[in-house]
Chain A
Amino acid sequence: MALLTLSTDPRVDAYAKLLVERCLDVRPGMQVLIRTTPQAAPAVFALERELARKGATPILRIGFVTWPTNPAWAAEAPEELLGELAEIDRFACDHMDARITMDAPENTRDGSDLAPERFQLVKKAENYFYRRSMSSEIPWVSCAYPTEALAQAAGMSLAQFEDVLYGACLIDWDAEGERMRRYADAFDAAEQVRIVGAGTDLTLSLAGRRGEVDKGHTNMPGGEFFYSPLEDSAEGVIEYSEFPSSYQGHEFAGIRLEFHGGSVVEASATKNESTLYDLLDRDEGSRRIGELGIGCNPGLTRPMNHVLFDEKIDGSIHLALGQSYEKVGGKNVSSIHWDIVKDLRNGGRIELDGKTVQENGRWLI
């Protein structure tokens, strides 16, 4: 008997299948935690069906903002409760076998009216959730579902946004993986990376570090390869003049960072500069680079004011301030991981040990 399934968009089913099969490789008996908002209902239902077919069980964590954050509660609860998750939530974090984070805001500013000290405590508590995925103990994927709010933030209609999202996700990931591996091999073999572009001349060392290719596993869309550079190696300047950057509900523009000995020694921004300073002063590791990523997704060509997409723009690179990835040898520890994207398509270039490998966003290798 055929089940009549009412998906508004057939791409939703293909997307759910991709997430469950490729990204998570779900096995029978798994408890797969799905955190999202009611906006993503069609995708949640499609995921539930896919999980059922695999013999797995969904653990639904649907909130008005992404679980475990609950601003209505966090605005009122005593501060001593905010910094650590409730035992029930920690248990779920400890026992989930895989997780899907599907960003689907009704308003991208939801939660941003929490008092800053409360917001920071909530973020600290949330780190417990990320622990097992960041250390690669469980399969995970971060993705998004097309909502009016995300489309609006991207300056697009919902239909346009849907086309971009599915266009960047429903592609031949194995072929993309091979292409990116070729570039990553060149980076693996190099010691020094130099990024040159508008207002930018920055060198980093990758000596002894190996990159990882994101060919559609932990991020959907995927389409980058990334490193944790040597923590004390960054020297020079980078200016993010092309795209705005958003982090934890704040929007920034014109960020300029000067590095010495791996650490930010001077910083400025044309928008939200004081919040930039706050973030840099967040902790010991927040002035150092946790990640260098190179965007390669051919479906992503314009900024969407959403890091999951923007960091994969073909012809861009991004540096993350803060927490690095152990799995690629990173040692920096921080409560922030803020990816900021630099467009290299207009006069930028990447050099490896003095040899130019990318110019104007186009590969020469």
Chain B
Amino acid sequence: MSSFPCIDCAAVTDPRIEELATLLVERCVAVRPGWQVLVMGHPGARPLLEELCGQIGRRGAYALLRLRLESPPTRAWMLEADEDLVGRFTEIEAHDYDTMDTYIVVEAPENTRGGADVPAAKVAARNAATRPHMKEIFAGTKPWVGLDFPTQGLAQDAGMTLREFEAFYWGAMLLDWEALAERMRVIAARFDAADEVRIVGGGTDLRFSLAGRHGLVDALGANMPGGEVFYSPVEDSAAGVIEYSEYPACYQSHEVAGVRLRFEGGKIVEASADSDEEFLLGLLDADEGARRLGEFGIGCNPGIQNHMRNTLFDEKIEGTVHFAIGQGFGYLGGTNESVVHWDMVKDLRPGGRIELDGEPVQENGRWLF
């Protein structure tokens, strides 16, 4: 007989955190019994991470918690190790990625620029080592979901107090996903049926082809919040100019203002920026595919209206589009390959327009159908 003093004092969990965890576990990755689920994230996301572990447990699956102290997770090691070592994935690391059934990654950085001092070459070497083990993730055959959790760092980037950021965050996360998905399916049907897309806006006139390509509606999928319709455009089709004059382009702890790209035959032939141009040019030369488009996305989340220097949210701003240079989506017919996948967001609400095969379908960020 045991007289262990077991006081069953379950701490009260914020009901919003419970609801979000349920969306993630049951809808986004649909955890099944016996699965090995990697749960990764910063310690600041503790309430959500623990709720996730509990819910995964209730579904009869393993929650394998991997807290990250920095971004990238082994920043201190990467700074000190030589590039050759950084570029080698060990047996245990490979096995984690190869055999997990799904992963959930929750970013809760105290400082969103924590990785700013890791040389780009080492980041690229690490990404290249990781890639072969992410095949099923990229191919869409293994589910995953990535999201943020409110921290002072994220709020600061967004130009908000933590309180303001939290109010915004829950508004973008916990909305009527069924209704939004339905609306986005209507939008996707129009783009699926079109061949040529033309984007016009401040300093921008860009055409590209979606011929033979189908789009994906992002609702309760690999990103939370979702709220975009996205494509991999035909690789050699982009022609014209795009100027990201409204928002900085944010990637790997860098923030590049005024990016301007000129395309010919699908390839970037001219590039400039108002700040951190060297970083931009460096990435364009990362590999063969870095100068081509991997993604065209249309932001549709009504809970997101303002740019917050955070791609996960920014690319879903209602009335914006985004293009990613680099890696395309194989499951959407994309064939471009690159270690880069850099989403840059263009606001079309101030005077922008989208045309499909010559017919305007969106003006000033508002749909015309």
A residues apposed to B, CB below 8 Å: 3, 31, 33, 37-38, 41, 44-46, 48-49, 51-53, 55, 57-64, 67, 70, 72-78, 81, 86-89, 91-92, 95-96, 113, 115-116, 274-275, 278
Q: In the bound complex, how far is the Cα of B2 from the Cα of A192, in angstroms?
A: 37
Q: In the bound complex, how far is the Cα of B91 from the Cα of A81, in angstroms?
A: 25
Q: In the bound complex, how far is the Cα of B67 from the Cα of A37, in angstroms?
A: 8
The residues of B that contact A81 with a CB separation of less than 8 Å are 57, 60, 62
Q: In the bound complex, how far is the Cα of B62 from the Cα of A80, in angstroms?
A: 11
Q: Is B18 in contact with chain A by the CB < 8 A criterion?
A: no
Q: Give min CB distance, A96 to chain B, whole Å.
A: 7
For B66, B77, B100, the residue with the greatest tally of chain A CB atoms inside 10 Å of its CB is B77
Beyond known contacts A52-B77, A77-B56: 9 more, CB 8 A cutoff = A33-B92, A48-B80, A52-B85, A59-B92, A62-B68, A73-B54, A88-B96, A92-B96, A113-B7
Judge whether B80 and A38 touch: CB under 8 Å.
no
Judge whether B36 and A88 touch: CB under 8 Å.
yes
Contact A91:B65 (CB < 8 A) given known A31-B90, A77-B60 = no
Judge whether B7 and A75 touch: CB under 8 Å.
no
Of the candidates A57, A58, A78, the one whose C-beta lies within 8 Å of that of B60 is A78
Q: In the bound complex, how far is the Cα of B85 from the Cα of A60, in angstroms?
A: 16
The residues of A that contact B78 with a CB separation of less than 8 Å are 52
Judge whether B80 and A53 touch: CB under 8 Å.
yes
The residues of A that contact B81 with a CB separation of less than 8 Å are 52, 55
The residues of B that contact A92 with a CB separation of less than 8 Å are 92, 95-96
Judge whether A73 and B57 touch: CB under 8 Å.
yes
Judge whether A63 and B85 touch: CB under 8 Å.
no
Q: In the bound complex, how far is the Cα of B38 from the Cα of A45, in angstroms?
A: 22
Q: In the bound complex, how far is the Cα of B2 from the Cα of A51, in angstroms?
A: 45
Judge whether A64 and B60 touch: CB under 8 Å.
no
Q: In the bound complex, how far is the Cα of B2 from the Cα of A115, in angstroms?
A: 11
List the 4 shortest-distance A-B pairs measured between CB atoms, nearest first.
A77-B57, A76-B57, A52-B80, A52-B81
27 CB < 8 A contacts A-B: A3-B80, A38-B43, A38-B67, A38-B69, A45-B70, A48-B80, A51-B77, A59-B90, A63-B67, A64-B46, A64-B65, A70-B63, A70-B65, A72-B51, A72-B54, A72-B57, A77-B57, A86-B36, A87-B36, A87-B99, A88-B36, A88-B99, A91-B92, A91-B99, A92-B92, A96-B92, A278-B2
Chain A residue at minimum C-beta to C-beta distance from B51? A72
The residues of B that contact A59 with a CB separation of less than 8 Å are 90, 92-93
Please count how many residues in chain B sit with their CB below 8 Å of the partner chain's CB atoms.
50
Q: Which B residues, 48 to 78, have Cβ-Cβ distances below 8 Å to chain A?
A: 49-51, 53-58, 60-70, 73-74, 76-78
Chain B residue at minimum C-beta to C-beta distance from A68? B64
B residues apposed to A, CB below 8 Å: 2-4, 6-9, 36, 38, 43, 46, 49-51, 53-58, 60-70, 73-74, 76-82, 85, 88, 90-93, 95-96, 99-100
Contact A57:B90 (CB < 8 A) given known A49-B76, A87-B36, A274-B3 = yes
Judge whether A113 and B9 touch: CB under 8 Å.
yes
Chain B residue at minimum C-beta to C-beta distance from A41? B69
Judge whether A57 and B77 touch: CB under 8 Å.
yes
Judge whether B3 and A73 touch: CB under 8 Å.
no
The residues of B that contact A76 with a CB separation of less than 8 Å are 53-55, 57-58
Judge whether A89 and B92 touch: CB under 8 Å.
no
Judge whether A62 and B66 touch: CB under 8 Å.
yes
Q: In the bound complex, how far is the Cα of B65 from the Cα of A37, in angstroms?
A: 11
The residues of A that contact B9 with a CB separation of less than 8 Å are 113
Q: Give min CB distance, B123 to chain A, whole Å.
A: 15
Contact A31:B91 (CB < 8 A) given known A52-B85, A116-B6 = yes
For B38, B46, B63, B92, the residue with the greatest tally of chain A CB atoms inside 10 Å of its CB is B92
Judge whether A95 and B95 touch: CB under 8 Å.
yes
The residues of B that contact A61 with a CB separation of less than 8 Å are 66
Contact A73:B53 (CB < 8 A) given known A31-B91, A61-B66, A278-B2 = yes
Q: In the bound complex, how far is the Cα of B38 from the Cα of A89, in angstroms?
A: 11
The residues of A that contact B8 with a CB separation of less than 8 Å are 113
For B50, B66, B69, the residue with the greatest tally of chain A CB atoms inside 10 Å of its CB is B69
Q: Give min CB distance, B304 to chain A, whole Å.
A: 30
The residues of B that contact A58 with a CB separation of less than 8 Å are 74, 77
Q: Give min CB distance, A196 to chain B, whole Å.
A: 34
Q: In the bound complex, how far is the Cα of B39 from the Cα of A73, in angstroms?
A: 11
Q: In the bound complex, how far is the Cα of B4 from the Cα of A72, in angstroms?
A: 19
Of the candidates B58, B64, B79, B82, the one whose C-beta lies within 8 Å of that of A88 is B64
The residues of A that contact B50 with a CB separation of less than 8 Å are 64, 72
Judge whether A116 and B4 touch: CB under 8 Å.
yes
Q: Give min CB distance, A209 to chain B, whole Å.
A: 35
Q: In the bound complex, how far is the Cα of B96 from the Cα of A61, in angstroms?
A: 12
Q: Give min CB distance, B138 to chain A, whole Å.
A: 20
Q: In the bound complex, how far is the Cα of B16 from the Cα of A359, in angstroms?
A: 63
Q: In the bound complex, how far is the Cα of B100 from the Cα of A72, in angstroms?
A: 20
Q: In the bound complex, how far is the Cα of B87 from the Cα of A57, in angstroms?
A: 11
Judge whether B80 and A86 touch: CB under 8 Å.
no
Contact A55:B60 (CB < 8 A) given known A44-B69, A72-B50, A73-B65 = no
For A62, A88, A278, the residue with the greatest tally of chain B CB atoms inside 10 Å of its CB is A88
Q: Give min CB distance, B205 to chain A, whole Å.
A: 45
Q: Give min CB distance, B15 to chain A, whole Å.
A: 17
Contact A62:B7 (CB < 8 A) given known A45-B76, A52-B85 = no
Q: Give min CB distance, B168 to chain A, whole Å.
A: 26
Judge whether B57 and A57 touch: CB under 8 Å.
no
Q: In the bound complex, how far is the Cα of B94 from the Cα of A248, in angstroms?
A: 33
Q: In the bound complex, how far is the Cα of B78 from the Cα of A96, in angstroms?
A: 20
Q: In the bound complex, how far is the Cα of B338 from the Cα of A175, in angstroms?
A: 56
For B55, B56, B81, the residue with the greatest tally of chain A CB atoms inside 10 Å of its CB is B81
Q: In the bound complex, how far is the Cα of B43 from the Cα of A64, in angstroms?
A: 8
Chain A residue at minimum C-beta to C-beta distance from B88? A57
Judge whether B95 and A91 touch: CB under 8 Å.
yes
Q: In the bound complex, how far is the Cα of B67 from the Cα of A53, in angstroms?
A: 24
The residues of A that contact B65 with a CB separation of less than 8 Å are 63-64, 67, 70, 72-73
Chain B residue at minimum C-beta to C-beta distance from A70? B65
Chain A residue at minimum C-beta to C-beta distance from B33? A78
Q: In the bound complex, how far is the Cα of B62 from the Cα of A244, in angstroms?
A: 36
The residues of A that contact B67 with a CB separation of less than 8 Å are 37-38, 62-64
Q: Give min CB distance, B41 to chain A, whole Å.
A: 10
Of the candidates B2, B60, B61, B91, the one whose C-beta lies within 8 Å of that of A274 is B2
